[in-house]
Amino acid sequence: MKNKYTVGSLYAGVGGICLGFEKAGFNLKWANEFDKKACVTYRNNFKHNLIEGDVMDLDVKTLEQVDILTAGFPCQPFSLAGHRKGFDDRRGNHFFKILDFIDEIRPKVVFLENVKNLKGHDKGNTLKVIKSEIKKRNYTFDSSILNTKDFGNTPHNRERLFMIAFDKDFLNNKSFKFKFPEKEQLTKSIKDLIITEKVSDKFYYGEEKYMYNKLKEAVVNKNHIYQFRRQYVRENKSGLCPTLTANMGTGGHNVPIITTDFGFRKLTPRECFRLQGFPDDYKLPPISNSSLYKQAGNSVSMPVIQRLAEEIFKVIQKVEAKEKKKEKV
């Protein structure tokens, strides 16, 4: 039986945030995603209602009430000065659309994810606006930049900003501050996530490739990941995967390279999903590899989400336990 705490997910992608919350014990109610190929992958892995289409066209009033609202939203520039003057077109800004959902649904918790650079964007003003607007609605606001290698036990150097807000009326605790999880030791290595058997020939760089000699010279360590940079090969000596990006979907040199017993090759989509912490029972549909690379690069690191969701779960349980205690008295 699923837990009674429910989640609605905006900008769901292929469900990295959804899966993390599900694994932490939450009950997924609905999700929204615009990208058609991402929706194919999402539907391969989740049974609940996925609303395909532009979030700007969503009628908030038609959505089922949820306890947690999540959004890995695109960052659009807006300044504090501009905010003071008011926006000519609020509809065009994704963050302000999220506020409409918060106002209508009034979730117990708002969970936001974005790139690390949002913190310093426009000299910090962008984050100030986000914090101000959420606190104005009587929510707490705590944020932190977490790296997958430190919080997801996955050898992937990926920093993301997480913003978590609780409804103060629900908490009934004026001094509340959300406790982000502690760093954990990284025990998994690149070789734990690499497919050891031979994969399809299309992933390998043979002698006919113009960069073959450069790869032969530089790509020597089976425990490291490499990147081809036009004129040279870059080795990640830390034993980590560099941040996977959405432009891996454009193919070519954007996909990290490894060496195995069978030659030099780029990472497969499955390996990229593993580096985002997705389990092997997460199904990859029969769509183009370029789409799957893009999806892996666009996704969140699922184990980091799971750890955050577990902390949120503890807070909700604690609050409800207190309420029950009061009722008994």
Q: Which active-site residues does the annotation give?
A: 75
Geometric angle at alpha carbon 313, from 310 and 319, rounded to 5°: 145
C-alpha 144: how far from chain center: 14
Place of tokens 């908490």: 171
Distance CA 210, CA 216 (A): 11
Distance CA 29, CA 8 (A): 6
Distance CA 196, CA 279 (A): 17
Place of tokens 């058609």: 36
Copy the structure tokens of residue 180: 């982000």
| SS3 per residue for 240-285 | CECCCCHHHHHCHHHCCEEEECCEEEECCHHHHHHHCCCCCCCCCC
Beta strand 6-10 pairing with 27-33: parallel
Extract the runs of DSSP E, i.e. beta strands, from the chain: 6-10, 27-33, 49-52, 68-71, 109-115, 142-147, 159-166, 225-229, 232-236, 257-260, 263-266
State the alpha helices, DSSP H only, in 88-233: 94-105, 125-136, 148-151, 168-171, 190-193, 212-218
